[in-house]
Amino acid sequence: MRSKRFEESGLSLDEASDLASSRIMHGYDLIIFDCDGVLVDSELLACRCLAELLNKAGVAATPQEMLDRFLGRSLGSVIAHYQTLGHELPPDFEAKLRSRVRADFAAGLRPIPDIAEVLPRLGVAYCVASSSDTERVAHSLELTGLAGLFGSRVFTAQMVARGKPAPDLFLHAAARMEVAPRRTLVIEDSVSGVEAGKAAGMTVWGFVGGSHHAVGDPRALLEAAGADRVFDQMRDLLGLEGEPE
């Protein structure tokens, strides 16, 4: 369901922020944002890099296949997948991929529209919990001007034993933020992320506003994975009503 309440209300961001604490934030003490595809529009860039390097390593791959198979997963899980299939990737594959992604991000990474204006107006604590490594998340937030809005409230799959779709990362983030899972709202763009949030006992809203969701039916996929709501504009966070399930 795409919310049109924000546009139809005629409210400015400042005016809508006054409603945030009484509507969306009722009952929530924390919002956990995924990074790729939620804060920064990075998924297409990253999957293109991954597909190109896999092809160079002799593994047939397309950017769309990478999106379909690995959206929301860590690089470690990607490498493990191909090792299981018997593909021996070059020893420097991971290093080359990180370097290529870093260069492409520097050239073309953009924040999700309106996210920088919405975050300070949420009226509740928020943090990042990403499957990407710590260096990549820090680089992404810095490039897009979002780093100062999060400070040290950044948690990655490197900090836990199991990445998404296991609940470990979200539970770790909530514990560090000293908030109970039942009072936590997760914003995710991937099936594995939605599954992780639900497994953690949190409310999960799916976000489909990233450029990688321009094809197919991502709304149906996230709903089938258990998303409690699906939306496509970050400004909607200041107009949607909601509370813990």
pLDDT tens, residue by residue, 28-68 = 999 999 999 999 999 889 889 999 999 998 898 898 888 88
- In CATH terms, the fold of domain 5-41+110-238 is Rossmann fold (3.40.50)
Which residues lie below 8 Å from residue 56, measured CB to CB, with a gap of 6+? none
Q: In the chain, what are the domain boundaries? A: 5-41+110-238, 43-108
Report residue 89 as tokens: 């990737």
Q: Which residue, 92, 105, 112, is CA-closest to 132?
A: 105
Domain spanning 43-108, CATH architecture: Orthogonal Bundle (1.10)
Query: How many C-beta atoms surround the C-beta of residue 198 within 10 A?
Result: 21
pLDDT tens, residue by residue, 66-87 = 888 888 777 788 888 888 888 8
pTM for the full model? 0.82
Which residues lie below 8 Å from residue 140, measured CB to CB, with a gap of 6+? 35, 36, 39, 40, 42, 105, 109, 132, 146
Q: How far is CA 135 from CA 145, 158, 160, 174, 207, in A?
A: 15, 10, 16, 21, 24
**3 state SS of 115:** helix
CB 108 within 8 A of CB 45: yes
pLDDT tens, residue by residue, 126-184 = 999 999 989 999 999 999 999 999 999 999 999 999 999 999 999 999 999 999 999 99
